[in-house]
Amino acid sequence: MRGRRWGTALTLLLTATALPTTGARTATAADAQPPPPAMPLARLFDNRAVSDNSRPGAADFDGAGRSLSAQDLAAAGWSPGSTPTLDGTRLALPRTAPGTPDNVVADGQAVAVRGRGEALTFLVAGTGGAATGTGTVRYRDGSHSTYELTAPDWRSGPMSTKAVALPHINAPDGQQSGAARLYAVTVALRPGREVTSVVLPAPAAASGALHVFAVSVRDSGRGRTGSWAASTAGYRAVGPWTDRTLRLVVHSGAGGPRARIRIANTFAAAPVEIGAASIAVRGAGAAADRAPVPLTFGKGHTGVRVPAGAEAFSDPAAFTVPPGADLLVSIHLPGTVTAAPVHQEAAQLSYLSAEGSGDRTADTGGAAYPETMTYWPFLTGVDVAGGPGSVVALGDSITDGVKSTSGANRRWPDVLSRRFRAQHALPRYGVLNQGISANRIVTDRYPGDGVSTDTGGVSAQHRLERDVLAQPSARTVVIFEGINDVRWGTSADEVAAGLRALARRAHERGLRVVAATVAPCAGYPDCTPAVEARRQAVNAFVREGAGTVFDATLDFDAVLRDPQHPARLLPAYDSGDHLHPGDTGLTALGESVDLRALVPGRG
């Protein structure tokens, strides 16, 4: 098989980086050769990865006769020719029959790809171990940039970063149990330039074979601002819910016309059917202040089928989102749902219609919604047209608002959002809260696959692409994490390395990176002197990284600590558990931020 290389699996911290080509270099004989002609990806397919269960020997993905099950892919909603949206990128799956070529083994082929955006997403997998190599992006203006692409192994790669996992592997002698994985890997593009082609990597020595199924330019989100967001933190059992409508309460930040929502089926093993959806300004309880505006998907469809692991954006609707208002997003689930991706700690009551009550998305009143919930399933974003873009807060339970007053929107990113809206000297950014209670920088709490009661999320490393880099018009990321790492034994050096890697990846995408020091927690049961020593070491790294690793830093430790007992929260800011600030402490955090530090080119 052309281009196949074998090697041992690599330990992955990051799945991809992109390095712009800069500076002069010495000309070589190879430079005089014309570049290979770019061809549509499907014309380059030279490997068969998918077989029908009735003919498992018809494909050979890995050189040992093993392959993906066409039936498993279909059950996950990944049918030939479908277009799942992964990390904000719409990817076209090969329109091929089982047992026919459906992917290319990367070996320097030139692929015709057109589009303008800030990133390029590949649907990939490695065989024979993780596969890595360096490729080239060509632009219409004649320039080019290089990128490094790493495809985790299809059988042993991390579940926490997979696009989809399948329960079986087909082999010549029949089907075997054991998960197979495909990955969406995104690399940076030069901003503002139109892509004309992509040269696939030639695999590095000791690398596995790098298989490419699809590639597409990601829409940069220009012309949109994030008004509200929440991260999927786990995949938990629900209901079962049959033919019911969710009415989810969220609080807008930035206002603007023409709203759209994002529904995510993150971590799922099966597709979810959305029968209808609507958006409204909240009146009281589950009631809207006027008739909800219906939402459509895919240019006019009332519903959408969201594949396992994928997401769906509604079409922009003629609905003006008021700034700083409670919204009702209603989602009809016509089938039976037994598990859902959730954001567990909503600090907000939402509503659920009665069993079998059908589509109630158009209801203005709230009588059809007798049940309440304290988490957000499926819904991960509300965007508006226009605006200057967004600041993203990447954090743990303190950012998530644990111990704040439910329904009062007193999380520190809420305070920050109000401050941006109240001023006119700087861009009036949206502020997106991507905090997850119990989240860590270095290690996963939730393993990234399967139904689980753990809703601490995958690590900040593994969710950065989805929760920060793929957000519409993200300008700045504020990283406020680390206390859960040091409490659970992660060394300060490992946390510092994780922070450094997050900053490097965000900088590659053109974001401003602001890091906050870790707040004190003495008095909480597991905050021992050893934990305090690790916390102080992490904070020293953050403070020393201002202007080098990070564009700016925020000293949240200094804001919250008791001057008389610096290892503890100031009593006036303590919620009572000595780990989480209460409303007063969260307000102090939000008010302490110099807004200029969050604006690219200032501070």
Q: What is the pLDDT of residues 343-368, one digit of tens each?
A: 999 999 999 999 999 999 999 999 99
Domain 232-378 has CATH 2.60.120: yes
% of the chain residues with pLDDT over 70:
94
Among residues of the chain, what percentage have pLDDT more than 90? 90
CB 341 within 8 A of CB 378: yes
Q: For the structural domain made of 388-603, what CATH number should be given? A: 3.40.50.1110
Segment 262-290, tens digit of pLDDT: 999 999 999 999 999 999 999 999 999 99
Q: What is the residue extent of each domain of the chain? A: 16-218, 232-378, 388-603
* Cross-strand bridge partners of residue 239: none
For position 542, what pLDDT does the model report? 98
Whole-angstrom distance, CA of residue 8 vs CA of residue 11: 10
Strands 512-516 and 552-554: parallel
CA distances from 508 to 16, 20, 85, 411, 493 (A): 11, 9, 22, 29, 22
Peptide bond into 341 cis (omega under 30): no
Q: Confidence band (pLDDT; 50, 70, 90) for 6? A: very low
Q: Residue 151, class by beta-carbon neighbours within 10 Å (0-12 exposed, 13-18 middle, 19+ buried)?
A: buried
**Please, which pLDDT band fits residue 204 given cuts at 50, 70 and 90?**
confident
- Tell me, yes or no, if the two domains 232-378 and 388-603 fold the same way: no
**pTM, two decimal places:** 0.93
Beta carbons of 182 and 163 less than 8 angstroms apart: yes
> What is the structure's pLDDT at 22?
28
- 520-543 pLDDT, tens per residue? 999 999 999 999 999 999 999 999
SS3 at position 360: coil
pLDDT value, residue 222: 77
**Mean pLDDT, range 491-515, rounded to an integer:** 97
Supply the mean pLDDT for the chain: 93
pLDDT band at 26 (very low <50, low <70, confident <90, very high): very low
